[in-house]
Structure 1
Amino acid sequence: MMICINVFQVHRETLLHTNASIKEFDLQTRKVTVLYELGATVYSIDYNFKNKQVYFPRYFNNDIMRFGYPAHCIILHKVVSTGNRPAGLAIDSTRNHIYWTESIGSFGRIVRCDLDGSNKTVIAQNLDYPFVLRFDVINSWMYVVERFAKISKSRLDFTEQHLLENIDSDVICMDIGT
C-alpha cells in the first residue's frame, strides 16, 4: 500500500492528505478534523490561495475535483474529466491553470487546463510514467517525477528541460522549498 502525505498550511490550520482522506490539523488546538473521506484513490492535492479551493485528482475515476476551504460544509465540484489515471497535480495560481499527470501503462503525459476545466492542452507526451508534479511559480519551473526513471525540471510549457537525478526506485512524493 502506498501512502503519500501532502501538507499545506492555510492560516493556523494545516491540510493533510492520505489515500483515505483530507484532514485539517489546527496548529493551535492540535485538533484533527476529517474534511472529506475520499472513497477514491488520490495521490496528490494542491491548494489555490487565490480562490481558496482544494484540488485533487481521482486516479481511477479519471477526473479532478475541488472544494472550497475554509468552509462550514464541504461541497465537491467536478472541475474536469481527465485522461487515464491522473496522479500528480499542481496549481499555477499566477496563470490560473491546473496541471496534472496521466498514465497509460508505463507511458504518460502532462496536461493543463484553466481553473474552470476549460482549454485542455497537452504540455508533454511520451513520458516514462509521470507521477509527481511540483511548481516553483516564482521562477516558472515545473518539477516532474517519472517513476522508476528520473526527476527533472522544465519550464511550464515543457521547454528548457534539465535532468536533476536518474532514479531506479519508486518515488511517489516530492516537495520543493521556495
Structure 2
Amino acid sequence: MTTPGKAAEQGNPSAEVAEAGTAPGPQEVAAGAEEKLAELEDRWRRAVADLDNVRKRHAAEMRREVEAERARVAAAWLPVLDNLELALAHAEADPSAIVQGVHAIRDQAVQLLAALGYPRDDETGVRFDPNRHEVVAVVDDPATEPNTVTRVVRPGYGTDRHQLRPTAVTVSKSQG
C-alpha cells in the first residue's frame, strides 16, 4: 500500500488532493476551464490576426516587386525605341543606311531579350525537338535526315525551361 506522500511523488492527482486536504469543487474546476478557454481563444485570435497581417504584407510586397520588374523591363526597351525613332527621323536619307539601322535595332532587341533570359533560337539543320519547335510544315527533302529542321519560319525565344515562344519550323518528313 502506498502512503499519500508516495502517491504524490508518483504523480497521482487524487493523492495530491488528499494531501492538500480539499478537492476543488465543480465551480472552481469550471472557472479554471473557462479561464483557460478564454486564454486559448485570445491566443488563437492573435495568431489569426498575425497571419492576416503577414498575408496582407506579402501581397503588398508582391505588387511592389511586380511593378518594379515591369519598370526595369520597360526601361531596358527604351534604347531600342530611341533608335527606332532615330531611324524614322532619317527616313529621307540613304535607303541602305536605313536598312543597316533597322538591322542594328533588331540585333539590339535580340540582345535585350537574351539578357532578359530569352535567347533567340533560329537554327536550321538541327534535329526537331518538340520542346523547342513548333512544326508549321513538313517537306520532302531527300538531302536531309528525317525529322530535321529545314527552315525557320519564325524564330523562337527562350530556353527549354523558360520559353517565351517556340520556334516555328519546317521539318523534313520521315522517308519510308
Same fold (TM over 0.5): no
Higher relative contact order (CA 8 A, sep 6+): 2
Q: Greater helix share, 1 or 2? A: 2
TM range (shorter): under 0.3
Q: Greater strand share, 1 or 2? A: 1
Relative to the length of structure 2, the TM-score reads 0.21
Rg (Cα) greater in structure:
2
